[in-house]
Structure 1
Amino acid sequence: ADGILDVRERFRFRAPPRSGVRLALREALCSADEEDADCFFIVYREPPPAAVGEPTAKPVEVGSAFLNLQALVRTRSDRADETLDLLSESGALVGAIGVSVLGWRYLARVAAPCFDLRA
């Protein structure tokens, strides 16, 4: 009744050395276009029930939010309990989502050729 839906999901990302996933992650972290390193969080809702004999409808996107992974490396910080605006596909604010992204040190190792973090 307070408009808050508490969903706790945990996702662990693995990118073994020399894997395609790791190479794509490094490419995003090293890109001159910072938007290439945006990590999106997308919220969907169930579609209305399909009529008998009709194909099942696909989930409907409620909104999305993002956090930039290059920024985590540059600022040398994780984001714990970060509140992000949840925007509809048209850009309207539809809510907020709380996320935690931990692992800037791992990201820094992946992006080591592109970032000088010795200072």
Structure 2
Amino acid sequence: MALGFVCVGLGMLGAVLPLLPATPFLLIALWAFSRSSPRFHHWLYTHPHFGPRLQEWKQYGTVPVKVKASAISAMGVSFALMAFVMRVKWPVLAVSGSLMLIGAAYILSRPSRPPG
């Protein structure tokens, strides 16, 4: 249940901060609540602001364009910070970049809105 509340908090921050995506944290919170608290699972799943996006994900696997842009922008900024500010070693940069590319490919492969 603690993981659910932490992820709800991060998701709420992500709803107002442009580089922090809300949806992944809310999906983790929904999963955590499904295992720990049916009451909080129902609350999050039917929440007026977050519920519709979570319901679309469950039914259709959609990722809205705004969320895609935010997630990919955050990955790009993170990669640039690692490469040019933190100056991490190239093996770490290569692995991180590869994982980010896999994540970006998955996000871009999801539909942006429900069918019909």
TM-score w.r.t. the length of structure 2 is 0.23
Which structure's relative contact order is higher, taking Cα pairs within 8 Å and 6+ residues apart? 2
Q: Which has the higher strand share?
A: 1
Q: Which has the higher helix share?
A: 2
TM-score w.r.t. the length of structure 1 is 0.23
Tell which structure's C-alpha radius of gyration is larger.
1
